């Protein structure tokens, strides 16, 4: 990803004036003049040209073809190979950081979506648990009522819940003997 496209100008990047730049005092930098980026703040880029330091906009400059990096305040002096390699590596790291930052934003968005889905799933689970509890209560009420009013079962006249006493074994047995269509299926 070229630095010009992302409008990221790391300190030390060599740039070329794309147009003639003139300040209010009449000082001028001609198109094609080379300079070194010192800093970038908001939409303004501070560039050191031969005749001084200028605040320019991104559209007024372009990155040199070799994307060469020079330390700020070094002017246009020649660099050693080690300095060039270091500065090129710094530029690549800066571009990689932009790439990673974008992917971090994408990952964070995916995390937010996953969190919403998890919350929806938990809400559905709570709703299903509530429905299961209501069904259990309805079954317990029916089993207790059926056993209590049936004269054919040995539990006739009991007021306590049969299901709560033995986990529902006797109630299920009594129900299946009486009316199989109302009995819960047991394994």
Q: Do both 16 and 85 map to the same domain?
A: yes
| pLDDT score for 115 | 93
**How far apart (Å, rounded) are the C-alpha atoms in residues 45 and 144?**
82
Q: Do both 25 and 89 map to the same domain?
A: yes
Q: Do both 134 and 178 map to the same domain?
A: yes
**How far apart (Å, rounded) are the C-alpha atoms in residues 34 and 43?**
20
Identify whether 60 is part of a domain.
yes
97-126: per-residue pLDDT in tens? 878 888 888 889 999 999 999 999 999 999
**Mean pLDDT, all residues of the chain:** 74
**How far apart (Å, rounded) are the C-alpha atoms in residues 41 and 39?**
7
Q: Do both 60 and 20 map to the same domain?
A: yes
Q: Do both 92 and 16 map to the same domain?
A: yes
Helix spans in the chain (H):
3-6, 81-149, 162-166, 169-178
Q: Do both 123 and 90 map to the same domain?
A: no
143-174: per-residue pLDDT in tens? 766 655 555 555 544 545 545 556 666 666 66
| pLDDT score for 1 | 40
Q: Do both 19 and 94 map to the same domain?
A: yes
Q: Do both 87 and 125 map to the same domain?
A: no
6-28: per-residue pLDDT in tens? 457 777 788 888 888 887 777 78
Residue 66, pLDDT above cutoff 60: yes
Q: Do both 45 and 96 map to the same domain?
A: yes
Structural domain harbouring 117: 104-182
Q: Are strands 44-49 and 52-57 parallel, antiparallel or unpaired?
A: antiparallel
Q: What is the reported pTM?
A: 0.33
Mean per-residue pLDDT for 44-52?
83
Q: Do both 112 and 34 map to the same domain?
A: no
Mean per-residue pLDDT for 55-81?
68
Identify whether 187 is part of a domain.
no
Mean per-residue pLDDT for 180-185?
49
Identify whether 37 is part of a domain.
yes
Domain count, the chain: 2
């Amino acid at each position: 990803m070229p630095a010009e496209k992302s409008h990221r100008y790391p300190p030390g990047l060599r740039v070329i004036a794309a147009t003639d730049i003139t300040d209010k005092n009449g000082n001028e930098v001609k198109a094609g003049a080379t300079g070194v980026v010192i800093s970038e703040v908001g939409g303004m880029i501070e560039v050191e040209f031969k005749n001084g330091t200028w605040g320019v906009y991104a559209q007024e400059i372009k990155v040199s073809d070799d994307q060469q990096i020079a330390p700020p305040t070094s002017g246009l002096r020649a660099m050693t190979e080690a300095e060039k390699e270091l500065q090129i590596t710094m530029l690549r790291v800066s571009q990689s950081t932009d790439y990673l930052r974008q992917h971090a934003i994408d990952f964070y968005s995916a995390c937010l979506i996953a969190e919403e889905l998890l919350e929806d799933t938990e809400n559905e689970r709570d709703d299903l648990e509530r429905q299961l509890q209501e069904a259990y209560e309805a079954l317990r009420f029916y089993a207790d009522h059926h056993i209590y009013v049936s004269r054919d079962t040995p539990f006739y006249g009991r007021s306590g819940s049969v299901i709560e006493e033995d986990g529902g074994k006797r109630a299920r047995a009594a129900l299946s003997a009486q009316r199989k269509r109302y009995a819960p299926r047991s394994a």
